[in-house]
Amino acid sequence: MAILIPARNVPSAATVTMVVDAFCNQYGYQTLINGQPNPQTKSQFALQQVDNFIINTVKADKIKTPVEAARTQAITDVDSQVVIT
């Protein structure tokens, strides 16, 4: 398996905490789930969100070209086949 993105250095542990907390706040980390402690740590959750961002970016890119091609073809088809006089 290859490493996609190497670790990033940040100035301090406080910065790591700030980044992890930001991801948790923005993406809805819950300390308790159904009244029980969340088995996923805040750091694990933040990394999962980074992974999700990467996956969703690749999906969006893979979808973009075929969707644009289909849209262009549909417009061309309608323009050539639907003539109102």
Task: Look at residue 55 and tell me if it is in a domain.
Answer: yes
Task: Look at residue 18 and tell me if it is in a domain.
Answer: yes
pLDDT above 70 as % of the chain: 100
Report field, pTM of the whole predicted structure over 0.85: no
- Tell me what pLDDT residue 2 has: 83
Task: Look at residue 4 and tell me if it is in a domain.
Answer: no
- Tell me what pLDDT residue 54 has: 93
What mean pLDDT value characterizes the chain?
Answer: 94
Task: Look at residue 23 and tell me if it is in a domain.
Answer: yes
Number of domains present in the structure of the chain:
1
Within the chain, which residues score under 50 in pLDDT?
none
Q: Which regions of the chain does DSSP assign to beta strands (E)?
A: 32-33, 36-37
Helix (H/G/I), strand (E/B), else coil: 20 = helix
